[in-house]
Structure 1
Amino acid sequence: MTRTNPDSCPGVLRLHQAADGPLARIRLPGGRLEPRQLQVMAEASAELGDGNIELTSRGNVQLRQVRDAAALSERLADAGLLPSDTHERVRNIVASPLSGRIGGLADVHALVPALDTGLRAAPRLAELPGRVLFTLDDGRNDISGLGGDIGVHATDADEFALVLAGRDCGIRVSTADAVQVMLAAAHAFLDLSSGHWRLHEVDDGARRVIDILGLSPGTERLEFGAAPDIPIGWLDQDNGLVSLGAAVRLGSLPARIAEFIAAIERPIFITPWRSMVITDLEEWPAEQVVRVLAPMGLIFDANSPWLQVTACAGRPGCAKALTDVRADATAAVESGRVLPPGNQPAAASDTSGHTTEPDRATATPDSTATAPSAITDLGTTIGLRGADDVTVTGRQHWSGCDRRCGRPRGPVTDIVATQNGYRIAPPPTGRP
């Protein structure tokens, strides 16, 4: 697939003109934030934006309704969050959030600064599309399944599988060589690209990158999952300290709560699942953090229905959205209509008069909404429903239109707004 339009991913220096105002995206390599940096973002959000910090599916953050772009860039640069004017949009690096603290075969966070520095040191790599994603998985299989473009996946303490276009390509590299091989693969992508935004769009892209690198793949191939358990709640670190995994409702963190988190003065990792991990706590302070922040809205309960729900921006943030999907999703959670996996809502009638069987969200990957008013899945027809009639089991993504922006990978029920109600598309069943 050759793109006819240039990549338009926003950054700090090139804002996206959303329906509710300018939007800035701040790259956080490896998801890491120092407390002072989070404090700066909280103040910028409150004073220059809409008062919220949005967590993205790539472990980055966004500020909406930016009123003074120059002031924002100055504040972020002073905090070390804008180290390069030329390369700011290409620093998309996600890494296993718990790496080096809990489990894993290798500490991939040790590779993040070297990869980020290498990206910024190569003038040509500023030409990478802002959608190219680098992935660093410590072997626990939480990151490689995100479908990145170029990455490594630990196979032991000093060996990594090279991941291209989201798949193990058979190449094995040492820790010492991992960063240089990834950077060389990024250059190879540019050699092959003709307006492509992602490596998987290049015909036979992974094989051709390998040819350019001059490496010989082995026969072993790893398979990557797409829906890991999100690290939520009390997490005992290998060194005796504690991390706290906290989810954020629909990925939107109020600036006031962010200030409380910054005041803890511990490193924070933003995850690709719109949550965060607060690290390196003693037990007593960790208990106090939960007691203070849980009533304020942070979610430390791994069984919370909020962990089942994601949503696009919807109205008023997106001009293409047909409704305020975030308000509708919030109402579904708060009224008990988001059911845990394994529960089944009662059969109901949709607006066309069809009898619909219970919704399902526990099957296999990559569902796609197809029909304009209803979908058929092995004989189950689910038609249009009003917002107050949507009751869905398990993982679900609410979308304001058929583009389904922000949809997570893996099995998920699509709840898509139409002109006449929501179309519900469960994951297909019976697929490997």
Structure 2
Amino acid sequence: MTDLPHTPPQESPQGAPHGAPLLLDDATFGTIARFVPVAGSTTAADWVEIAALAQDLADGNVYLAEGAALELRGVHDQQELLARVSAPGLLAGTRPVLASPLSPAARAVARDIAAVVESLDAAANLRLGVDGGYGDILHEGLDFGAMLEGENSARLIKGGALDKDVFSIEELVPALVQALEESDTLSATTAQGAGEAQHDRGAFEGERPALPIGWLAEHTREGIVDLGAGLHKGIIPAEFADLIGRLDVPITVTPWQGLIFHDIAEGDAEVVLRVLAPRGFIFDINSPHLYSS
């Protein structure tokens, strides 16, 4: 993993569509265009399009960034970029909602939350997410969010801790919105202090779960696997970004500068490994390149 630029967002040029990328001014990288796919969920079309944008209008790379975001750096024509962005995953919104990348249910709830909080002032500048029950997203230090418990219930996350009240999935999003609106200040510290007695900090103490890297079949149906890949420093050359788009499978961007290729037949997955591994995609959880900056 590598350090990521932290720069204040600048307003997109006038006339930018709803959900247009955030445009940031960085002293090192120049103009950055940041795309925030909900729960990191992207399609093949998203990757083909962002690869072309990287090649034509930026420095030729796609970057995996903080918060399961995608970035283009060194953008030299903002208006042209905004005019060309059309893939739904790249226009999803500007407020990230993280989700456990191996949990379809968590990603679905994250989409429901994102649809509400995009226009909710109380959600501005907060770290939101949905944990599928693994503890992976809870460890990300959420300001607000939810942890799923089984198929039909969940608990809210407030200030990085689990709330003791249990909600049905149908009640969850309204309960989260109410919690956001009732918070006196929009910070994890205040959320923690307002209800410490109602929070459960012991539920997921301990080590962070392992990164989802390699052959991932524990949660898939027989004969189908997910493939988890890391990228050294989170950098994907445009031609390789286009290549993974041509795989025509759903791809999740993880909060840890990685990708998960979903729902691949086992035989096809072997081919994908042979094609992508020589191109810098890391499928070995023990590779030192996953952790070096």
The TM-score, its normalising length taken from structure 1, stands at: 0.59
Matching residue within 176, 183, 187 for 2:177: 183
Q: 1:235 to 1:223 in 2, by over 3 A?
A: closer
Matching residue within 48, 58, 81 for 2:67: 58
Partner of residue 141, structure 2: 147
Matches within 5 A, 1:364-383: none
Q: Distance in 1 between matches of 2:46 and 2:271?
A: 22
More helix by share: 2
Matches within 5 A, 1:7-406: 8-9=8-9, 12=20, 14-19=22-27, 20-76=29-85, 78-81=86-89, 83=91, 88-89=93-94, 91-100=95-104, 107-120=105-118, 122=119, 125-126=120-121, 128-129=123-124, 131-189=125-183, 192-193=184-185, 199-202=187-190, 205-206=191-192, 208=194, 217=198, 222-225=203-206, 227-236=208-217, 237-240=219-222, 241-309=224-292, 311=293
Q: Distance in 2 between matches of 1:60 and 1:221?
A: 30
Is the Cα–Cα contact under 8 Å of residues 234 and 245 in structure 1 kept in the other structure? yes
Q: 1:228 to 1:296 in 2, by over 3 A?
A: same
Measured after TM superposition, the shift of residue 308 of structure 1 is 2.1
Measured after TM superposition, the shift of residue 51 of structure 1 is 1.1
Measured after TM superposition, the shift of residue 220 of structure 1 is 8.7
Please give the root-mean-square deviation of Cα atoms over the aligned residues, in Å.
2.4
Q: Give the secondary structure class of the aligned counterpart of 1:294.
A: helix
Measured after TM superposition, the shift of residue 118 of structure 1 is 1.4
Aligned-partner residue type, residue 221 of structure 2? N
Q: Structure 2: which 5+ runs fail to align?
A: 1-6, 13-19
Q: Give the secondary structure class of the aligned counterpart of 1:181.
A: helix
Measured after TM superposition, the shift of residue 224 of structure 1 is 4.2
Q: Distance in 1 between matches of 2:178 and 2:122?
A: 14
Q: Distance in 2 between matches of 1:259 and 1:276?
A: 14
Q: Give the secondary structure class of the aligned counterpart of 1:293.
A: helix
* Count of equivalent residues: 276
Q: 1:96 to 1:242 in 2, by over 3 A?
A: same
Q: Distance in 1 between matches of 2:54 and 2:200?
A: 50
Q: 1:52 to 1:224 in 2, by over 3 A?
A: farther
Is the Cα–Cα contact under 8 Å of residues 144 and 224 in structure 1 kept in the other structure? no
Aligned-partner residue type, residue 300 of structure 1? F
Q: Give the secondary structure class of the aligned counterpart of 1:15.
A: strand
Measured after TM superposition, the shift of residue 171 of structure 1 is 2.4
Aligned-partner residue type, residue 236 of structure 2? L
Q: Distance in 2 between matches of 1:252 and 1:181?
A: 38
Deviations along 1:294-321, whole A, 9 cap, x unmatched? Answer: 1111111111111222x4xxxxxxxxxx
Aligned-partner residue type, residue 216 of structure 2? L
Q: 1:300 to 1:220 in 2, by over 3 A?
A: closer
Q: 1:224 to 1:68 in 2, by over 3 A?
A: farther
Measured after TM superposition, the shift of residue 187 of structure 1 is 2.2
Q: Distance in 1 between matches of 2:22 and 2:106?
A: 30
Measured after TM superposition, the shift of residue 24 of structure 1 is 1.4
Aligned-partner residue type, residue 98 of structure 1? L
Measured after TM superposition, the shift of residue 179 of structure 1 is 1.5
Which protein, 1 or 2, shows the higher relative CO under an 8 Å CA cutoff with sep ≥ 6? 2
Q: Distance in 2 between matches of 1:261 and 1:34?
A: 10
Q: Distance in 2 between matches of 1:126 and 1:233?
A: 39
Deviations along 1:357-414, whole A, 9 cap, x unmatched? Answer: xxxxxxxxxxxxxxxxxxxxxxxxxxxxxxxxxxxxxxxxxxxxxxxxxxxxxxxxxx
Q: Structure 1: which 5+ runs fail to align?
A: 1-6, 101-106, 312-432
